[in-house]
Amino acid sequence: MARRQEPWATRTARDRTETAVRGRLLDAAETVFARRGHGPATIADIAAEADLSRASFYVYFASKEEIFRVLAVRVRDAFLAAQDVPGTAPEDVRAVAAASTAAFIAAYARHLPLLRLLEQQAQADAEVRTLWEEITERPVHRTARYIRRMTAAGALAPVAAPLAVARAVGGMSVQFARQVAAAPGELEPAVRDVTAMYLHLLGIDAIPKE
């Protein structure tokens, strides 16, 4: 007798082979949640936005709540990835600061409507609250660890404790990202200004000395 395959197993297998379709659903869900909010948004809305059937939705996600949480994980990972700067030496603090600041501000501006919903849902949903705390805290602590490491190596002389500097930079980045979300053309000056303040807090001049 053939072994019955559980729905979740089917979904997991398809995740590995049809990630483009899953990505379309996630992109569509983010658009729908941003436009309609969490409560009014429906699975039918998400499937229609992705130009897929409701049946296709259920191949990948069991419910609206599940896709919302997966979106939260994707946003968290986007912010953590913003601190990875391939091709940039960790010792090149100016380059690391500029690249990570640009990536963070761009990611925050892009996901701002969803971030607002996540913050709201975190008040009532413990799982979303955990993800929200990771989104807001993990990048800060990763930055603080980098500052501590470079300070120990003698490359930095931060004006305050590494965690305090990391929180200040994170707060500035969020404020500027909100402006960029409203006016995308402001991305370049926002990155320049936040990077300059970041370097100042690290005890480094923004402009390299001749």
Residue 2 lies in a domain: no
Cβ-contact 205, 199 below 8 angstroms: yes
First to last CA, the chain: 78
Q: Are residues 117 and 164 in the same domain?
A: yes
Give CA–CA dist 32/26, Å, rounded. Answer: 10
Share of the chain above pLDDT 70, in %: 89
CB 47 within 8 A of CB 53: yes
Domain total for the chain?
Answer: 2
Evaluate if residue 15 carries a pLDDT over 50. Answer: no
Q: What is the spatial distance between Cα 73 and Cα 116, in angstroms, rounded to a whole number?
A: 15
Range of lowest pLDDT (17-21, 40-44, 62-66): 17-21
- Given a cut of 60, whether residue 70 has pLDDT beyond it is yes
Q: pLDDT at position 206, please?
A: 54
With 50 as the cut, is the pLDDT of residue 173 above it? yes
Is residue 192 within 8 Å of residue 170, measured between CB atoms? no
- Show the domain range for 49: 7-62
Would you say residue 67 lies in a domain? no
For residue range 105-155, list pLDDT tens digits in order. 999 999 999 999 999 999 988 988 998 998 899 999 999 999 999 999 999
For position 17, what pLDDT does the model report? 44
The pLDDT of 42-57, averaged and rounded, is 95
CA neighbor of 101 nearest in space, from 30, 2, 171, 10: 171
Q: Are 105 and 177 spatial neighbours (Cβ–Cβ below 8 Å)? A: yes
* pLDDT band, very low/low/confident/very high, at 18 (cuts 50, 70, 90): low
Closest CA to 17 of 54, 52, 59: 59
Same domain, 146 and 168: yes
Q: Given pLDDT bands bounded at 50, 70 and 90, which one contains residue 54?
A: very high
